[in-house]
Structure 1
Amino acid sequence: MKQLSLGALLLATSSLPALAQDRVTIDFVYPYSSLFDVTYEAIMPAFKAAHPNIDINIRASYEEYEDASNTILREAVSGDLPDVTMQGLNRQQILVDRGIAQSLEPFIAGEADFQKDGYHEAMLSLSTFDGEVYGLPFSVSLPVGYYNMDTLAAAGVETLPTTWDEVVETCQTLIDSGVENPIYWDWAITGNWFFQALMWTQGRAPVEDGRINMDSPEALKTLETVKHIVDGCNMRNLTGDEAVSAFAAGELPLMYTSTSNVGRMMTIKADFDFETGAYPGIDGTPDGLPAGGNAAVMTSTSEDPAVREAAWQWLKFITSGEGAAEVARTTGYMPPNRAANDIILVDFYEQNPQKATAVEQLPLLRDWQAYPGDNGLAITQVIYDGLERIVTGDAQDMEELQEELTEEIDDLLPRS
């Protein structure tokens, strides 16, 4: 009900008067209300000042990106699509393939100064299909390390780990010092993001030529690395929310997850020295890392040009300039354009070094890949189940697990 009340509030309030016949209302939906409510609340006054005749009706939020994708697919059948939806960067392809997402090229063509806000090319490419832009990236994240520096110092750890072997060594030092719960590696995060991170770390794309590289040496190394972390660090099977709470309470000294939680962590953490660090590699610096986050996609079925233009104005506003800067100010995500990162936020990262780590990793940015075909979500679940078997100790032989996962995935891939 929180999202509905927020939507009703935004729909009912306006800072400037406008004639009733000039007003336009668009429907908008986004995921992860606990992260993004504060962001849209911060954005709304400036948008209303610039566009007093446009009202934003915010629908109940999606739980996560899989829910966002499933909901949009259902609404396309029922004819109840929102005008603008925020979708995971790896979930746009299916909406494009099914004609649900609409090309933004006609709107971009009408914007003489569209490029002045300087969208990062690598970020914009995540929403580009067959040469046309279908979404504008809104919030972009990369995986980082979260560190309780007080606990590390008490255990005698002087430098942050840069490889997973060093992470396990750090865990052992913490365990020897009496820490019972040293680490959480966010294996369960949406879209197999951390599985893909370990693949990209080795320079291997998770998906190539319509196939998933589960039978590759890099995939076996990925599974072995997960097991090494779980076994070597005595990692407990926590949920992501449980891990965030444990870290904030000072009970969990190492956590590897999305940078998206940094802003929240700085607000809720207990009194300890909190730093972030670059995501470790397997043999050194990662060759690449998948970009997480979401993009604004137009899915309006309205035939009213005023509604579609209003949807474009909202979509453009939240992904550029001051609108995008609020992403960094209120969360740990990175804005998708240089105007926000390099100009508007010129002093921000110096004052908030915990949020700068992901920005420093931008040269490593790679695609957060969608799995091919109509069974993409089912493939996501297969890989999730495989990782869970490692975390719970059910799977011990990684070569055997690799063979099982490869067979299950191949059965779900499209046939020629």
Structure 2
Amino acid sequence: MKKHMKQVMIMGLAGALAVGLVGCGSASSSTTATADSTTNASSKTGKPIEVTFWHGMSGQLGDVLKNMVDEFNKTHPDIHVNAIYQGSYSGKGPLQQKLLAAIASGKVPDIVQLEIHSIPVFAASGALQSLDSYMAQSTDHKKSDFIQGLLKSTSYKGQTYGVPFNRSVPVFYYNDKMFKAAGITEAPKTWDDVAKDAKLLTKKENGKTTVYGFEPVNQWWFFESLVWSGGGQLMNQGLTQATFDTPAAEAGMKAWQQMKKDGVLTVQTGPKDWDQTIADFTHGRAAMYVGSAGDMGQIEQSGMDFKASYVPMVKQYAVPTGGANAAILAKAPEAEKQAAWKFIEWFTAKEQTIHWSQKTGYMPVMKSAVDSQQMKDYFKQKPNHQVPVEELQYAQEAPLSPAYLQVTQYIQDAMDKIMVENANVDATLKDAVKKSNAAISQN
């Protein structure tokens, strides 16, 4: 998960997909493909198979991705991947809006970088190719070869529709120099600890706060962690009702709001709130913040002395997984599907996923990578990078409902009211649950 979480799925996406996919078939009736070799696929024309890959990586992340795609093309003369940046891959971002239009027109890309919470929406409408047959026939990309925590949010109704691509968990970051100066000897384990430490770390000059003790990214991905950490749930087991307004679910949000009232917490607003939060942290305007594992490369570029730790808990450690999966479109031609799978296998293979992780901070997605001596040595050199991998033991799965992205919109609206407008937590979350249940009932 990276930077664009506040832009969530527009209302009615599932309806738009249903209209655009009339005649395409249901998820269960999608064409069953095989992972046959593409070695001879280009021999009919003598030209490499052209694979169109839509992605949402820009800046430093986009540069790393481009270099890796170039390397694939150099080493695979029978396939040429055209990586095209289409804007943010988030639910309300340009990439998914363009994908909706492409699906409606029938002219789809072959691969798309799809935000993990969008998998149920697109899969339920038949837009995505089931990847189970590919995985079953692969020598090193079977389900058992992936880090199991990252397989969460890759499937829908028992079928796999995505391969972990740029995947992350929330991570708690803190300024080590500020901690030492304040006499704090260890990372906070609970939100009560964060509140206590934030008071020691907050600095004021001439009545103005120059350093806030804590500055969270105020986005719904972190709300998931807060709810589970308190022992609450986002939806009921049958996925028919939202349940994030119980006392257990509200506890974390109340802890954040109280810190703001105490003057030790601030939040950024607007479309660049995530970037601004990172900037505040790297420039010493915030001593602690909660962000993504995918922030780590950017923080390291600043040269600051920082440490990473588990996201604090209310009662128990709990984190969502985030980021995006690589998905193949059901309407893509068969040869392009096979070539697309070959690229996905290459990108997520041991050497490439290690390179991707070290350059960006995202997770290495294969067990072989995490267990390799190369990665073990890297973790010893840079222990911050091991934190998100260890944190996967506490990963939970967001509700696998096509309606859930609409629910996150109401959660985000509620968080903005609570943390920006100082609205009452109980009343605001109950109103968000009421709106969510109305949306769920229409799916």
Q: Which residue among 30, 41, 44 is the counterpart of 2:55?
A: 30
Hey, what's the Cα distance between the residues in 2 that align with 1:116 and 1:408? 37
Counterpart position of 2:246: 216
Higher helix share: 1
Hey, what's the Cα distance between the residues in 2 that align with 1:398 and 1:317? 47
Q: Which residue among 394, 410, 414 is the counterpart of 1:386?
A: 414
Hey, what's the Cα distance between the residues in 2 that align with 1:314 and 1:220? 43
Q: Which is further off, 309-318 or 117-126?
A: 117-126
Counterpart position of 1:349: 379
Question: Do 2:118 and 2:405's aligned partners in 1 also have CA atoms closer than 8 Å?
Answer: no
Q: Which residue among 245, 265, 278 is the counterpart of 2:310?
A: 278
Task: Letter of the 2:68 partner, please give it.
Answer: I
Task: Look up the SS of the partner of 1:72 in the other structure.
Answer: helix
From the superposition, tell whether residues 402 and 320 of structure 1 become closer, same or farther in structure 2 (CA, over 3 Å): same
Counterpart position of 1:247: 281
Question: Do 1:371 and 1:379's aligned partners in 2 also have CA atoms closer than 8 Å?
Answer: no
Tell me the alpha carbon deviations over residues 248-272 of structure 1, each in whole angstroms, 9 at most, x when there is no partner: 2222211111111001110124xx4
Question: Do 2:89 and 2:113's aligned partners in 1 also have CA atoms closer than 8 Å?
Answer: no
Q: CA deviation at 1:130?
A: 3.0
- Report whether the alignment pairs 1:120 with 2:151: no
Task: Letter of the 2:306 partner, please give it.
Answer: F
Tell me the alpha carbon deviations over residues 21-74 of structure 1, each in whole angstroms, 9 at most, x when there is no partner: 231111101223125313323423542344112111122233241124443223
Counterpart position of 1:187: 218
From the superposition, tell whether residues 64 and 131 of structure 1 become closer, same or farther in structure 2 (CA, over 3 Å): closer
Hey, what's the Cα distance between the residues in 1 that align with 2:406 and 2:159? 28
TM-score w.r.t. structure 2 length?
0.81
Question: Do 1:136 and 1:296's aligned partners in 2 also have CA atoms closer than 8 Å?
Answer: yes
Counterpart position of 2:339: 310
Q: Which residue among 122, 132, 155 is the counterpart of 1:95?
A: 122
Question: Do 1:163 and 1:282's aligned partners in 2 also have CA atoms closer than 8 Å?
Answer: yes
Task: Letter of the 2:46 partner, please give it.
Answer: Q
Hey, what's the Cα distance between the residues in 2 that align with 1:234 and 1:265? 20
Hey, what's the Cα distance between the residues in 2 that align with 1:133 and 1:236? 37
From the superposition, tell whether residues 301 and 35 of structure 1 become closer, same or farther in structure 2 (CA, over 3 Å): farther
Task: Letter of the 1:245 partner, please give it.
Answer: A
Counterpart position of 2:301: 267
Question: Do 1:193 and 1:368's aligned partners in 2 also have CA atoms closer than 8 Å?
Answer: no
Hey, what's the Cα distance between the residues in 2 that align with 1:113 and 1:173? 50
- Report whether the alignment pairs 1:320 with 2:349: yes
Task: Letter of the 1:51 partner, please give it.
Answer: H
Counterpart mapping for 1:17-416 below 5 A: 21-66=46-91, 67=93, 68-115=95-142, 118-175=145-202, 179-188=210-219, 192-208=220-236, 209-210=238-239, 211-232=241-262, 233-238=264-269, 239-269=273-303, 272-283=304-315, 285-286=316-317, 288-299=318-329, 301-303=331-333, 305-343=334-372, 344-369=374-399, 372-373=402-403, 376-395=404-423, 397-415=424-442
Task: Look up the SS of the partner of 1:170 in the other structure.
Answer: helix
Q: CA deviation at 1:181?
A: 2.6
Task: Letter of the 1:311 partner, please give it.
Answer: A
How many residue pairs end up in the alignment?
Answer: 388
Hey, what's the Cα distance between the residues in 2 that align with 1:313 and 1:409? 40
Hey, what's the Cα distance between the residues in 2 that align with 1:109 and 1:234? 49
Counterpart position of 1:14: none
Q: CA deviation at 1:293?
A: 1.6
Q: CA deviation at 1:110?
A: 3.3
Percent sequence identity over aligned pairs: 23
Question: Do 1:181 and 1:236's aligned partners in 2 also have CA atoms closer than 8 Å?
Answer: no
From the superposition, tell whether residues 329 and 176 of structure 1 become closer, same or farther in structure 2 (CA, over 3 Å): closer
From the superposition, tell whether residues 49 and 24 of structure 1 become closer, same or farther in structure 2 (CA, over 3 Å): same
Question: Do 1:140 and 1:293's aligned partners in 2 also have CA atoms closer than 8 Å?
Answer: yes
Q: Which runs of 5+ in 2 are unaligned?
A: 1-41
Hey, what's the Cα distance between the residues in 1 that align with 2:331 and 2:266? 47
Hey, what's the Cα distance between the residues in 2 that align with 1:369 and 1:177? 42
Q: Which runs of 5+ in 1 are unaligned?
A: 1-17
Task: Look up the SS of the partner of 1:276 in the other structure.
Answer: strand
Task: Letter of the 1:297 partner, please give it.
Answer: A
